[in-house]
A and B are shown apart, each in its own frame.
Chain A
Amino acid sequence: MSPLAFFGWLADSSWSTALHESQYAYSIIESVHVWTMAVFFGSVVMFDLRLLGLTMRKVPADEVLERLLPLTIAAFVVMAISGTLLFYAIPLRSYQNIFFRGKMLLLLLAGLNVWIFHARVYPKVVGWNVAGALPRAARIAGALSLTLWIAIVISGRMIAYNWFDCDRQPQLAIINLLTSCVPDEQEP
């Protein structure tokens, strides 16, 4: 089964349709997604700014991380669950949405940045002298994280718009390629 066929089947399933057409459930889930995003993004940004030396310079960076991480993780879990439900409500359209695809790619990169930071960079940050600037690698990780999460929030917001959707033809060939869209052949 191709991904396209699978998400098409998912879109036609009764639970997905029910969620999509619900009067309040979808709006509430979307609100939860936005609010937990604010908490997640807010705590990530405060930590990134600390890595860059732009706030809480008197507090060791590892202390900021240790104390904020539980909140960051909790918000991420709720955000991921609500996000999955939002996808589940509109699977086929989301799968073919160019902003959704861009967002998933950026999320992957952000995840990679988190992984590299915790495996390679963070050990150097622990116990680092508070007075000086943090190692270059840590500042780069902070700047990357900031950039990626900003781009993720923007692309997430844009999923709502159908400018490049499959059912709005004609689109540029490159758009149809990126959204794996095969428009029906039609006489102009």
Chain B
Amino acid sequence: MSLLPFFQWCYQTPVGETIRESTWLFPVIEAVHLLGLGLTAGAVLLVDLRLLGTGLTRQPVAQLWSSAQPWLLGSLALMLASGFPLFLSESMKCYYSIPFWIKMTCLLLALLFTFTILRRVVLTGVASERPLLGRATALLSLSLWFGVAWGGRWIGFS
């Protein structure tokens, strides 16, 4: 099944159309999206740095996870709330954009990885007995999030 009809439908939604026809809506929503990106990076780095053996090393990683989690979830909600209207306004461009598909793949993997494997590694405290496992988890997490940020920036260049 092709996703093309869905993307075509998104493109002609009133929201998408309104954003396309406005001079300032897209830039403003995108600025909000960018702020969300920064907040996501902060929340992700807090946990991943600790797993890598730097950052707040005196604190248990599970505690950092629970401190960061509301901000991670909040920033992801902000990203989705701003990203979806942006997508609606240029869904046809996205459909043919390789960076867009890379971004969405990385996003899906990053979310799955964060709330399953990374979460387990953090909450079971296994990283303190097996620091290498902690490091590998953090590296994979950072790579996936970087893939999301890379794709996001390069949608605009294509």
Residues of A bordering B, CB below 8 Å? 27, 30-31, 34-35, 37-46, 49, 55-59, 63-64, 67-68, 71, 150, 153-154, 157-158, 160-161, 163
Contact = CB atoms under 8 A, between A and B. Distances in A.
B97 to A, nearest CB: 14
Nearest to B71: A55
B64 A56 contact: yes
A63 B56 contact: yes
Interface string B37-59: 11111111110010000111111
A64 B49 CA distance: 13
B31 A154 contact: yes
Interface in B26-80: 27, 30-31, 34-35, 37-46, 49, 54-59, 63-64, 67-68, 70-71
Interface of B: 23-24, 27, 30-31, 34-35, 37-46, 49, 54-59, 63-64, 67-68, 70-71, 146, 149-150, 153-154, 157
Given A154-B31, A158-B31, A67 B38 contact: no
A41 B68 CA distance: 15
B96 to A, nearest CB: 19
Contacts of B27: 157-158, 160-161
Nearest to A157: B31
B43 A64 contact: no
B35 A42 contact: no
Nearest to A38: B41
24 contacts: A27-B157, A34-B153, A38-B40, A38-B149, A39-B45, A40-B38, A42-B43, A42-B44, A44-B42, A46-B42, A55-B68, A55-B70, A56-B64, A58-B59, A59-B63, A59-B67, A64-B56, A67-B54, A71-B45, A71-B55, A157-B27, A157-B34, A161-B27, A163-B24
B56 A45 contact: no
Given A42-B42, A45-B38, A150-B35, A68 B149 contact: no
Contacts of B150: 31, 35
Contacts of A41: 35, 38-39, 41-42
The 5 A-B pairs of least Cβ separation, nearest first, read A42-B42, A41-B38, A42-B41, A38-B41, A154-B31
A45 B34 contact: no
Contacts of B55: 67-68, 71
A100 B149 CA distance: 24
Contacts of B34: 34, 37, 153, 157
A45 B42 contact: yes
B39 A31 contact: no
Nearest to A24: B157
B90 to A, nearest CB: 16
B67 A56 contact: yes
Contact of A67 (B37, B56, B63): B56
A153 B31 contact: yes
Given A55-B67, A63-B56, A35 B149 contact: yes
